[in-house]
């Protein structure tokens, strides 16, 4: 369906006015999925109704993945800074496992090749 009408997703999302959910953005992506839609909703049921409506109208297989801010994973009372720092810069491997360490994956500064 999308192959013959590339604008179909834009048309379908314009026609869809879900209760309790707002479409924030739509993106074509490379990888396991071809298309990602960012939605803000009151609850998972609102997202489920939106996914069902879009899936039926556009003939798509949908997968819903609820998201939450990473800062909320640390829980009350702290630990947020340490959690965010660990996620941003994972420790390098100390054992010679044959796998590249995180330092080996970085591009050296000033190397524009």
Which single residue is written with the structure tokens 């009372």? Answer: 77
Most confident of 10-14, 52-56, 78-82: 52-56
Q: Which residue has the higher pLDDT, 96 or 60?
A: 60
Could you give the CA distance from residue 44 to residue 74 in angstroms, rounded to a whole number? Answer: 22
For residue 50, pLDDT beyond 80: yes
Question: Quick one: average pLDDT of 87-93?
Answer: 62
Cα gap 78→75, rounded to integer Å: 7
What's this model's pTM, rounded to 2 decimal places? Answer: 0.57
Is the pLDDT higher at 92 or at 68? 68
pLDDT 10s digits, 21-33: 998 988 888 988 8
Domain residue extents for the chain: 8-58, 73-105
């Amino acid at each position: 369906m999308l192959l013959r009408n590339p604008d179909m997703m834009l048309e379908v999302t314009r026609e869809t006015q879900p209760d309790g959910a707002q479409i924030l953005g739509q993106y074509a992506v490379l990888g396991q999925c071809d298309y990602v839609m960012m939605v803000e909703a009151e609850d998972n049921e609102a997202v489920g109704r939106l996914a069902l409506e879009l899936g039926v109208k556009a003939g798509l297989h949908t997968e819903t993945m609820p998201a939450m801010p990473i800062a909320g994973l640390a829980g009350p009372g702290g630990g947020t800074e340490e959690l965010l720092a660990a996620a941003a810069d994972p420790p390098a491997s100390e054992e010679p496992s044959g796998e590249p360490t995180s330092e080996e994956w970085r591009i050296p500064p000033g190397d524009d090749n």
